[in-house]
Amino acid sequence: MASLTLYPEDERLSGSARTAFNLYMVTAILLFVVIMSVGLTMRLSQATWLKVAPNLFYELLSLHGAGMIGTMSLASTAAMWFFVRKYVQLRMWAFVTNYVLFMLGVVSILLSIFIGHYGALWTFLYPLPVQGMGLWTPQWSALFMLGYLFIGVGQLLFYLDVARGMTARFGNLARAMGMQWLFGGTVDPDHPKAIVAGAGVLIANSIGIVVGSVALVMSLVNVFYPEVKLNPLVIKNLIYWFGHMYANATMYMAVITVYELLPRYTQKPYHIGRPFLWAWLVTALYVIVVFPHHLLMDYAQPRWVSVMGQVASWVGGFPVFLVTAFGALNNLHHSRIRWNMPARLLVLSMFGFAAGVVPAILDGTIRVNLVMHNTQWVPGHFHFYMLLGTMAMVLALMYHVVGSLKWTPPNSSMDRLGFPVFFIGGLIFVFGFLAGGHASVPRRMAQHMVEAWTVTDKVGAAGGTLVVLAMLYFALRLVTGLLAAPAPAPTAGQGHVATADAAG
């Protein structure tokens, strides 16, 4: 069984490892603030509280969509690396190369949007990127897509290194996921949950990145050789296959934080068993085939593909959600948890993870999808589990690492104020979207001409303002904390500070 020591020695960062981790997390938290401010700007514009020209709105929307998922993936990758490296040998060059390629991708995307005025959104759906209607040229679209390729190649290199490390220790990825215990035998209680989840994520998302790369290369060929015509339905399927898996992977990498940290703050073991192993196997398979639920409104789609997406939406999303949520609740029950910042954020992340999946599954039902999919219901469910789920997991890890430098969990008065501002603002923000979807307010529209539609826009803008204010504080707190010099290790007589009971 994993140790319940709050700050174990095998997690302590120094030298190049600490520098690389800080680069990931400091970059991520600063980008979060910038990209969230972009999102708030768009909500203020829809609420008629701020005037943003439509062409600029779609440029900002392209930046927000691509930037938020990319940045969340950067932070979640750092979370996966932070824990997986304890169990298998990972190469620093792969981790650093991923960061360098990510930053090249960011620069490419920023140039294409703010210099080239690209505004065809994160989906780069053929043939829109090459038909800028005088607002942007195909070459700027190519730079945007090249930025995606940089980010994808870096992520794939990281996954390949993780796969190499897991194979070297466990023999193959199937054994890393614990598949040898699916039908019998005694599950090793010391088999790391981080390895099970990490192996499932890298299998699924590696396929997604390869699929996305195929779509990107085909689209780039079309940019420079327009006579090469592409099948729009095939390209759309490839794009959403890639996009859905990439977005889900950010959440599944970040949830490793809950498996690793929650039992330390509750001082109760988080047991691994056959249901956990089955859940992750089903999820790794489900996330590969569920993407057609984004395409249920495409009448030209083969019926069997739509049926596959529908069934997968109903069945595949529950296993990991159930074992994670049940495991977390069981871990909290009769625990000795102390409500410092990491503990609060970990529990909040389970709420966001659990509650956010409900409107997602509803939208994945075809009769609901026909009414809701082109409304604000979709960004509502997406922001729910990304903002209050995945973001909370990432923030919990950052706070935990800051605490490890001082050997005590952070819990200042400003932390205790920032948490409810983030939580309440996040709820108001996502329910502004969900209420708008319920009222059939369309999404992806720069202007809402119907006055009644702006009511939920105003609610969302108010909640978004609170979230951005909280994130500004978190950024200042976490950047200074991560870059601070570590305190000396406690003496033997002060060893109690290394347990969650020392929180205060």
CATH code, domain with 474: 1.20.210.10
Which pTM was predicted? 0.92
Please indicate, yes or no, if residue 365 is contained in any of the structural domains: yes
User: What string of pLDDT tens digits covers the 504 residues of the chain?
Assistant: 457 888 898 888 889 999 999 999 999 999 999 999 999 999 999 999 999 999 999 999 999 999 999 999 999 999 999 999 999 999 999 999 999 999 999 999 999 999 999 998 888 888 888 888 888 999 999 999 999 999 999 999 999 999 999 999 999 999 999 999 999 889 999 999 999 999 999 999 999 999 999 999 999 999 999 898 899 999 999 998 898 889 889 999 999 999 999 999 998 888 888 988 998 898 888 888 888 877 877 788 888 888 887 787 777 666 766 777 778 888 888 888 889 999 999 999 999 988 888 887 787 777 787 888 889 998 998 899 899 999 999 999 999 999 999 888 888 999 999 999 999 999 999 999 999 998 888 888 888 877 888 899 999 999 999 999 999 999 999 999 999 888 887 765 444 445 544 433
Please indicate, yes or no, if residue 212 is contained in any of the structural domains: yes
The first and second tokens of residue 395, run together, are: 């923030």
Q: Give me the domain span that covers residue 85.
A: 9-502
Name the residue among 297, 300, 195 with its Cα closest to residue 253. Answer: 195
Please indicate, yes or no, if residue 454 is contained in any of the structural domains: yes
Name the residue among 406, 267, 419 with its Cα closest to residue 341. Answer: 419
Please indicate, yes or no, if residue 2 is contained in any of the structural domains: no
CB atoms inside a 10 Å sphere around CB 499: 17
Please indicate, yes or no, if residue 253 is contained in any of the structural domains: yes
d(CA 303, CA 309) in angstroms, rounded, equals 10
Question: CA–CA distance from 481 to each of 269, 345, 386, 476 (Å)?
Answer: 28, 17, 24, 8
Please indicate, yes or no, if residue 192 is contained in any of the structural domains: yes
Please indicate, yes or no, if residue 237 is contained in any of the structural domains: yes
280 — alpha (psi -120 to 50), left (phi > 0) or beta?
A: alpha
d(CA 330, CA 108) in angstroms, rounded, equals 46
Give the DSSP per-residue string, 431-448.
HHHHHHHHTTPBSS-S--
What's the total number of domains in the chain? 1
Residue 243 and residue 212 in contact, taking contact as beta carbons nearer than 8 Å? yes
Please indicate, yes or no, if residue 369 is contained in any of the structural domains: yes
Q: Which residue is it, tokens 């075809």?
A: 366
Give the DSSP per-residue string, 269-333.
-----HHHHHHHHHHHHHHHH-GGGGSTT-TTS-HHHHHHHHHHHHHTTHHHHHHHHHHHHHHHT
